Chain A
Amino acid sequence: MTVSLVFLALLMMGFGFWLFRQSLFVQPWVAESAGQLPALTVSRRFTAPRLGLVVFMAVVTSLFALMISAYLMRMAEAPQWELLPQPNLLWVNTGILLIGSLALQSAWEGARREHRGRLQGGLAVGALCTLAFLVGQYLVWRELLAAGYYLDTHPASAFFVIMSVLHALHLIGGLGVVALCLQRVARRTSLAQLVEWTGLCTLYWHFLYVVWLVLFGVLFVGAAPLYALCR
């Protein structure tokens, strides 16, 4: 559980520090001075959707941190642990998701510069790359199964499937929002309204790309050293 605890400790430290600043030297029992209009109290740096996404990403991070904790603990307690091979397709998938993430970044730039074509193209390429990534992940599962890495006999394979399914479900949820953005672009909605939504999609894709990199690292590239560490 160390991984999850480290994540939680960092999160709580940040939260505690922020709250400390809010509450330090504050005397809540003192009312506003007469004739003075109280100040606005919510942050202008964040909008509600942006803060909502940040909180959601914290929840998703907690989910994957726990998943990785479970993986490491299961690995440590196993009498023997067979590492997974590293199909080349995984590198291709990683590259495709990176292109998808960059395409959404480009779409966001397009929205900010009021360039409708770039926005539309970026969103479409981002969505297509994500779909390609999902198909690629499915092909990796097939490849592993064909090589005899069954779920019931190879826990590493089972962990890969369960983690990649969770990751894929989050991407599919994001694709729904991208589809909504594309629909609004097609309906000639003003670009100013789409800037925030595209920005949120971009942030979410970058986040899920980083999540995938971590999963790729712990499940494949770094699995052998991790196993040695766990033992």
Chain B
Amino acid sequence: MGEREYDASYQAPPAETGEMELVHAETFIGKYIWSQDAKVIAIQYMLTATAIGLVALALSIVMRLQLGFPDTFSLIDPAEYLQSVSMHGMIMVVYLLTAFFLGGFGNYLIPLMCGTRDMVFPYLNMLSFWFYLVSVLILAAGFFVPGGSTGAGWTLYPPQSISEGTPGVDGGIITMLVSLMVFIAGFTMGGLNYVVTVLQARTRGMTLMRLPLTIWGIFMATVMALLAFPALFVACLMLLFDRLLGTSFFMPEMLGVTQDVAREGGSPVLFQHLFWFFGHPEVYIVALPAFGIVSDLIATHARKNIFGYRMMVWALILIGVLSFVVWAHHMFVSGMNPYFGFLFATTTLIIAVPTAIKVYNWVLTLWRGNIRFTLPMLFAIGFLFTFLNGGLSGLFLGNVTVDVPLSDTYFVVGHFHMVMAVAPILVIFGAIYHWYPKITGRMLNVPLGQIHFWVTFLGTYLIYYPMHFIGLEGVPRRYYAYGETTFISDSVQSLNAFITIAAIVVALAQLLFLFNIVWSYYRGREAGDNPWHATTLEWQTAETPPPHGNFGKELPVVYRWPYDYCVPGVKADFIPQNVPPQAVERDS
């Protein structure tokens, strides 16, 4: 039974919420370029993030070819290797993951799932995207400035990042810092929209405790980002002052190390505090939307209400709050006070509690569910495994005594790629397979999607699992080539070659995914309004794809939470949020 049968059986009263004045553009440029429609802005965000993400993917392949076959390929020199590492990291974390989750899914889903016509400040929303685009262009310009992009690592630690001898010290570091500041300004505009829309523009009946967990995840991540990004902004601005005006916020006296002896008293550790005050919440800025989305994917495709909804909401909030007091676990080797290490190791382990609650609740939602192994569900389950495995190696690194010897090794690379790169990206894929039918009106090709899933899921394990072993052997990260050493065994090089081949295969699978996106847009099966028989409001629109304004003449009224799947005594296996109790068909 679909929602259309309900439509015939009742007349929903009007929502009677405040109407918005929408700018309905008539021209192509107004509709698709300078658009104020959150859905178009979302797609603009997604396309831009994908484009710059592909650049970062290409950089990773270049790096892997160097590491896997150092004597065969000579695509890059040591300086370019460091530049590739730095740009790959920053692009993936900030310009792809953050932008895709918040700018992409945030824009598309918040108005639709909250039952409103658009974001509350559409013009500001449009500006937000254009700031983002400019920031991406400035970042990409770093490749072409004299000296190339910065090679200081994605963490941009001074004094190295602005000292002579580091790649990109002439122009690359400047473009990176300016780009980040423009990104943050743009994000603040978007973030204000997301928060205020969720708090102030929900339709009648959509209480906070009836919000889908996707919205909770995006909302909490946005709140965190609005409070954490200023730390990065401050760090970038001060570093820019140090680089351009010769101040010494971070730059210490470096007599005899470089020719730069004029500075005194600057504190490099201060930069690390500021950077990680942003940097650790950033992990959860990416993770919380993923948590929210995966909750909805699992509930919808297992046809079961989410286990412990209130607990899930509070776990999201607790993770968000705790993530602000764990930042120094990235700095165990920075030389800070050892007592801090104990404190931050403790808070780091405490954050595992709400995270574990979420994992248990996902598993309990799946337990005895009517699981449909659709593509979104495959990616959601893939996320569970990957996040759990990546999180478990985090427990090792959260302990000071274990972290100190492992800190500069491939163990860390393996850990954070599993937990913060692959896990969220699996959710992005799952979410695209889930919402693509609403965005385009067509289904993605399933066999292609299955190949994409299995190659990506298994392939990423083949890439990152061996890295843990390489790390345990003590192989340092950020090295261009290892040459002859006494402590690195020959098998490490064989593993490196294996990882490189796996990485190339996984990268090719992503091209298959992009092909699927384009091919299905023209040739995909017609999706209808609600192909997954989902309950949330975005699937109850009169048209697919939804037009500007989303809901036709009347806004929907919400009568229930978004997880009414397989309700006992009800004929259908789902009840959309906008169906009143009297319209629900029950077993006789």
Q: A interface vs B, CB < 8 Å?
A: 1, 4-5, 8, 11-12, 15-16, 19, 22-23, 26, 28-29, 31-35, 37-43, 46-49, 51-52, 55-56, 58-59, 62-63, 66-67, 70, 73-74, 77-80, 151-152, 155, 158-159, 162, 166
Contact = CB atoms under 8 A, between A and B. Distances in A.
B582 A73 contact: no
Contacts of B202: 41-42
A162 B199 CA distance: 34
A152 B247 contact: yes
A143 B223 CA distance: 40
A23 B558 CA distance: 17
A158 B249 contact: yes
Contacts of B206: 41
Contact of B581 (A5, A31, A79): A31
Given A22-B209, A41-B205, A51-B196, A70 B270 contact: yes
Nearest to B582: A34
B226 interface: yes
Contacts of A34: 580-582
Contacts of A11: 227
A166 B200 CA distance: 29
8 contacts: A26-B209, A33-B581, A38-B558, A41-B207, A41-B208, A77-B269, A151-B247, A152-B246
Contact of A5 (B248, B313, B324): B324
Given A62-B227, A162-B241, A22 B207 contact: yes
Contacts of B249: 70, 74, 155, 158-159
A58 B200 contact: no
Given A28-B309, A58-B227, A67 B234 contact: yes
B199 A158 contact: no
Contacts of A43: 199-200
A160 to B, nearest CB: 11
Given A34-B580, A59-B226, A66 B277 contact: yes
Given A28-B310, A29-B563, A55-B196, A12 B247 contact: no
Interface stretch (B42-50, B74-82, B258-266): B258-266
The A interface is mostly helix, strand or loop, or mixed, namely helix
B265 A79 contact: yes
Nearest to A80: B265
Contacts of B204: 37-41
Given A59-B188, A151-B247, 17 more contacts: A1-B273, A19-B317, A26-B209, A31-B581, A33-B581, A34-B581, A37-B204, A38-B558, A51-B196, A51-B199, A52-B120, A62-B226, A66-B231, A66-B274, A74-B270, A77-B265, A79-B265
Contacts of A33: 581
Interface in B170-205: 188, 191-192, 195-196, 199-205
Contacts of B309: 28-29
Interface residues of B, number: 68
Interface in B238-285: 238, 241, 245-249, 262-267, 269-270, 273-274, 277
B559 A56 contact: no
Interface in B203-233: 203-210, 223, 226-227, 230-231, 233
Contacts of A39: 204-205
Nearest to A47: B200
Given A48-B121, A77-B267, A23 B310 contact: yes
A215 B584 CA distance: 60
B564 interface: yes
Interface string B50-67: 000000000000000000
A63 B230 contact: yes
Interface of B: 13, 16-17, 120-121, 188, 191-192, 195-196, 199-210, 223, 226-227, 230-231, 233-234, 237-238, 241, 245-249, 262-267, 269-270, 273-274, 277, 305, 309-310, 313-314, 317, 321, 324-325, 557-561, 563-564, 575, 580-582
A66 B249 CA distance: 14
A56 B191 CA distance: 9
A162 B238 contact: yes
Best-surrounded residue of B201, B560, B575 (most CB of chain A within 10 A): B560
B305 A55 contact: no
A59 B227 contact: yes
B200 A66 contact: no
A162 B205 contact: no
Contact of A48 (B120, B237, B560): B120
A67 B238 CA distance: 9
A33 B241 CA distance: 61
Contacts of B13: 37
Contacts of B581: 31-35
B273 A73 contact: yes
A66 B271 CA distance: 12
B230 A52 contact: no
A52 B277 contact: no
Given A59-B188, A162-B237, A38 B557 contact: yes
Best-surrounded residue of A33, A43, A46, A158 (most CB of chain B within 10 A): A158
A185 to B, nearest CB: 21
Best-surrounded residue of A41, A43, A56, A70 (most CB of chain B within 10 A): A41
Given A66-B230, A77-B270, A79-B264, A151 B199 contact: no
B344 to A, nearest CB: 12
Contact of B325 (A5, A16, A52): A5
A212 B200 CA distance: 30
Nearest to A16: B317
A166 B309 CA distance: 42
